[in-house]
């Protein structure tokens, strides 16, 4: 049982050796200056892809010439979000699944907690993750959703990622991927999701927290 005012960090930690989307750059953290070696301070270099861990997809990720990560509207990234329990689905979520989940009318931000949450305990990328189909994306657009998040590395099926991304991004829906919702119950929360201000980028790592205001 969650407590009123409790804050949940739903960000996946960035670390060397972490799971990344198949084909994406690995994470490398290297100490470039060291007090132990006589330097005045410890300084590290961090190399990783912009779609690593918890991150936001910018429109230009799938639409050439569209807006980049630095143009994302912050008002859509902060506000009431509905965490929806979809853990009983083993297949991708389609429009019928969306209709069955009881998303409250007027919801503007929805985060899908699926069976994917258990994949964060694995050491390698899994192709067997639940995603949203194109008609699920259309169903969310019809509900005037402004932000959609999911608990693994892609909102779309690996076998055909473009249609879902395109429908959402063309409609101005913000996509948040790589959320860790294992400790979060279904319900309404205040979402604060702040991406790095990476100019011109097709994605941006983000820190995301939920605050229970019920």
What positions carry a catalytic annotation? Answer: 61
Q: Can you tell me the distance from the alpha carbon of 57 to that of 172, in angstroms, rounded to the nearest whole number?
A: 11
**154 strand-pairing partners:** none
């Amino acid at each position: 049982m969650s407590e009123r005012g409790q804050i949940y960090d739903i960000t996946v930690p960035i670390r060397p050796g972490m799971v990344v989307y198949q084909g994406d750059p690995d994470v490398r953290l290297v100490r470039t200056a060291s007090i132990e070696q006589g330097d005045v301070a410890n300084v590290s270099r961090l190399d990783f892809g912009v779609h690593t861990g918890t991150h936001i997809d910018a429109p230009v990720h799938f639409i050439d010439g569209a807006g980049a990560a630095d143009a994302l509207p912050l008002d859509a990234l902060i506000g009431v979000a509905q965490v929806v329990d979809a853990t009983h689905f083993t297949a991708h979520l389609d429009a019928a699944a969306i209709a069955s989940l009881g998303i409250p009318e007027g919801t503007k931000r929805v985060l899908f907690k699926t069976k994917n949450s258990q994949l964060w305990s694995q050491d390698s990328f899994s192709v067997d993750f639940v995603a949203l189909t194109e008609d699920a994306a259309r169903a969310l657009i019809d509900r005037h959703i402004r932000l959609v998040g999911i608990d693994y590395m892609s909102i779309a099926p690996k076998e055909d990622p473009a249609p879902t991304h395109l429908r959402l991004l063309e409609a101005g829906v913000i996509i948040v991927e790589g959320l860790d919702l294992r400790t979060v119950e279904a319900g309404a929360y205040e979402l604060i999701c702040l991406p790095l201000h990476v100019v011109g980028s097709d994605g941006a790592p983000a820190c995301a927290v939920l605050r229970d205001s019920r």
